[in-house]
Amino acid sequence: MCDYTEVQYKCGDVRYTVRAWCVRYQETHKRCAPNVVAIEYRLDELCGEHIQ
């Protein structure tokens, strides 16, 4: 399984970002089941807001 961080935003939107790719993905580039290992709260950010 690949390790992901669940990111929760002020609007209630939830996104998942990869923390580490699993060996299977590195070898085949086929995604495996996600394994959420952390939750990050970005309650001061609106959905779709990007820092440039």
Residue 14 belongs to some domain of the structure = yes
Residue 22 belongs to some domain of the structure = yes
Neighbouring C-beta atoms of residue 31, cutoff 10 Å: 12
Paired tokens of 45: 């950010």
Residue 50 belongs to some domain of the structure = no
Query: Residue 34 sits in which domain range?
Result: 2-42
Residue 20 belongs to some domain of the structure = yes
Q: What is the C-alpha to C-alpha distance for residues 43 and 9, in angstroms, rounded to an integer?
A: 5
Q: What is the C-alpha to C-alpha distance for residues 25 and 22, in angstroms, rounded to an integer?
A: 5
Residue 47 belongs to some domain of the structure = no
Q: Is the pTM of this model over 0.95?
A: no
Residue 49 belongs to some domain of the structure = no
Residue 38: the pLDDT is 95
Q: What is the C-alpha to C-alpha distance for residues 15 and 30, in angstroms, rounded to an integer?
A: 20
Question: Tokens 């001061």, residue?
Answer: 44
Task: Report how many domains make up the chain.
Answer: 1
Q: Which helix (H) or strand (E) holds 43?
A: none
Residue 52: the pLDDT is 46
| Per-residue pLDDT tens digits for 1-52 | 889 999 999 888 999 999 988 888 889 988 888 899 999 999 888 776 555 4
